[in-house]
Amino acid sequence: MEPENVLAAADVLLTELSETAGLRADLAQILQGREGADQEALADDVVNAVLAHPEALTRFEELLLPQEVLRARDLAERAALSGVPAPATLGSGYPSEYCGYPRIDAPGEVVENWPFRIRVGLSPEIISSVAGGPVRGTDAPCPVTVTVQTIADGFTLVDGDWAAELRVNETERYPSHVLQICAEPDGRQFRVGSLQVVYSIGGEVVGVGFRPIGVVQDPGLIGNNVDAVDGTSRALLLPRGDEPADLTVTILPTDRTGRFQFLYQSPHVRVPGLPEECDVGADAPDYAFSVINRMADRQNRPDLMAFMTGLGREITDVMPASLWTVLGEVTAAVSPRVPAMLIQSAEAYMPWELAVVPKPLSAQAPEADSEDAPAFLGSQVALGRWVLADRRSRITVPPPVVVRAASMEVISGVYEIEGWQRLVDAELEAATLIDSYGATQIEARLAKVVSYLKHGPIAGIVHFAGHGQHSTNDWDNGLVMVDGYTLDPTTVKAYDFPGETFVFLNACKAAAVQGVFGGYAGLVQAFLYIGASAVVSPLWALDDRDAKSVALSFYQRVLKGEKPAEVMRSLRAAAGDDAELAFSAMAYQFFGHPHMQVERVGQFCGTEGDAA
């Protein structure tokens, strides 16, 4: 990074931060003495200050664009203020870009049963009390309609609408709307409620904002409570212009343990305007862990398929009935192709892929390509999952749709340590990827893997073939190295992927999660947190021969242009009534956009091998 670009980005960020933002004070102190100072040292100080405030990191990265892009943005902003269309910027090579932040204006504390007003929409600057995940996007034509859906569990609507369509144009770039609500009594003197806002365009979710709000039982308690929660919003760049999923299911938390709100978006059909609540139960973590162990116990038993089906019905029973109605309508609308479905969720534990569709999609759209597929949701639709991990997360919404892979790195090795079986087929899996695609091998020793994550270069595809471990009472969960050490999720979070990266963790239980501070934790979340565009990993233990077969079949098709979500669907569907095939195929979860494709670029294009 050139020092002048870093300092220019800091200048812009300084003007956008609210007066109360801690980073604003830090940047102002650094920049006030810039004349005559060492520019490189100043730039280093700016970077260190931003790194200490991760909520501003995405916006800072966006500002480190070529000056042509900054000039185009400046022209657009001036045009919005003057009402005069901005002149086109010729030869820049970059499309125009719209930037905004979640806006949820509300009192810090309210009295139950007393109506109050909130304003919801878009803001030109960061609002310290509002938290939201980053959304990247370009080529935003004006005007554009943003659907804003407010979800306020424990609050009642008094006046206005929970959902509104806001028109963004050159003269009104940050629209909003007002509604009046009141907090429902629940017997507690004080509680922390949450206002959640989902932003969507054309059926695609482009952002989620959160605003904590204190609720007191009596007016005399106002001001006597510690501030509920604080967070900082991240930029919304609208729209991204990618093809949306046929159905997006957003699963948001409520203030009651185990209860979640399901909200739907689709570009094809009208969906319910209000979210539907489901109760996965307070014991969902224990249930998820039991799935991992019980599946392993059923392998090779004659009741395996019956057990998987019964398990799927248990999961279906906790899902909203409206989901299946909406999915059936979407299936009919997109037939004869298989619908692409995105589940972006703050619920960490439930293996939604295993849910049994009450009425198979072929019965709802007979021409759909799902007639012989098992009734599991992961076999019926091209399903991508995504993490709404926490209110300060760096994970983008929605997921990226392209990974431009310039190379492949394979982390593997020979297990010759006590307590761990040698995985001959995993070794063969790694060798095949090296021979077929020119992958570079990194020996699975902790020091070498940590060095790779720290220094890179990070490849377009990172593949691990080896042992994994997970237990509910053991923090030493993660990828097991051939030297006996474990690469755990917390260690992974210390690093960053600088570019588009596709991660395949072919290790037992690598998709398992473990709660940290009440939220997501696990290898998948950790790799998404550091910038992975997608992650594939199994939820339960597999024979390394079966794991090798799935991985090689996957790459053979994906690296020829097929979408990973559709490849995973077809692998599950191909199992049919074969319980053992279904056991291995259904183990894998795909975290990524259902329309994602992996494009081979650079020298990687020249490797025409076939991994099958």
Compute the residue count for the chain.
612
Contact 482, 427 (CB under 8 A): no
Peptide bond into 107 cis (omega under 30): no
Residue type, 283: D
Any idea which residue has 């093809």 for tokens? 243
pLDDT per residue as tens digits for the range 277-316 = 888 877 777 777 788 788 878 888 999 999 999 999 999 9
The confidence score (pLDDT) of residue 135 equals 35
Q: Residue 65: CB partners within 8 Å, gap ≥ 6?
A: 94
**Residue 140 per-residue DSSP state:** -
Q: Residue 331: CB partners within 8 Å, gap ≥ 6?
A: 339, 361, 364, 365, 368
Give residue 243's Cα distance to chain centre. 17
The confidence score (pLDDT) of residue 41 equals 80
The confidence score (pLDDT) of residue 20 equals 56
The confidence score (pLDDT) of residue 137 equals 34
| CA nearest neighbour of 289 among 492, 531, 539 | 539
Residue 50's SS3 state is helix
pLDDT per residue as tens digits for the range 115-146 = 999 999 988 766 655 655 433 333 445 678 88
DSSP β-bridge partners for residue 344: 250, 386
Which spans in 415-486 are helix H?
Answer: 424-437, 446-455
- The arithmetic mean of pLDDT across residues 156-164, rounded, is 93
- The arithmetic mean of pLDDT across residues 532-561, rounded, is 93
How many whole angstroms separate alpha carbon 376 and alpha carbon 372? 12
The confidence score (pLDDT) of residue 229 equals 45
The better pLDDT of the pair 201, 68 is held by 201
DSSP β-bridge partners for residue 535: 503, 591
Residue type, 406: A
How many whole angstroms separate alpha carbon 135 and alpha carbon 120? 18
**Residue 530 per-residue DSSP state:** T
- The arithmetic mean of pLDDT across residues 354-377, rounded, is 72
Segments making up each domain of the chain, as ranges: 3-64, 99-241, 278-387, 402-606
pLDDT confidence bin for 237, thresholds 50/70/90: low
Any idea which residue has 């703050």 for tokens? 346
Domain 99-241's class? Answer: mainly beta
Tokens in use for 20? 């109360």
Any idea which residue has 């019964």 for tokens? 310
| CA nearest neighbour of 564 among 544, 591, 528 | 591
Report the CATH number of the 402-606 domain.
Answer: 3.40.50
Q: Could you tell me the CA-to-CA distances from 109 to 139, 211, 215, 227, 595 in Å, in that order?
A: 39, 12, 6, 9, 42
**Strand 247-253 and strand 340-345: pairing?**
parallel
How many whole angstroms separate alpha carbon 479 and alpha carbon 487? 5
pTM metric for this prediction: 0.75
Contact 249, 114 (CB under 8 A): no
DSSP β-bridge partners for residue 486: 480
- The arithmetic mean of pLDDT across residues 374-380, rounded, is 91
The confidence score (pLDDT) of residue 345 equals 87
How many whole angstroms separate alpha carbon 261 and alpha carbon 275? 6
Tell which phi-psi region holds residue 602, choosing left (phi > 0), alpha (psi between -120 and 50) or beta.
left
- The arithmetic mean of pLDDT across residues 341-346, rounded, is 91
Give CA angle at 140 (149, 82), nearest 5°.
95
3-state secondary structure 369-404: CCCCCCCEHHHHCEEEEEECCCCCCCCCCCCCCEEE
Tokens in use for 230? 């604080």
The radius of gyration of the chain from alpha carbons, rounded to an integer in Å, stands at: 25
Give CA torsion, residues 60, 66, 68, 72, to 10 deg. Answer: -20
The confidence score (pLDDT) of residue 542 equals 87
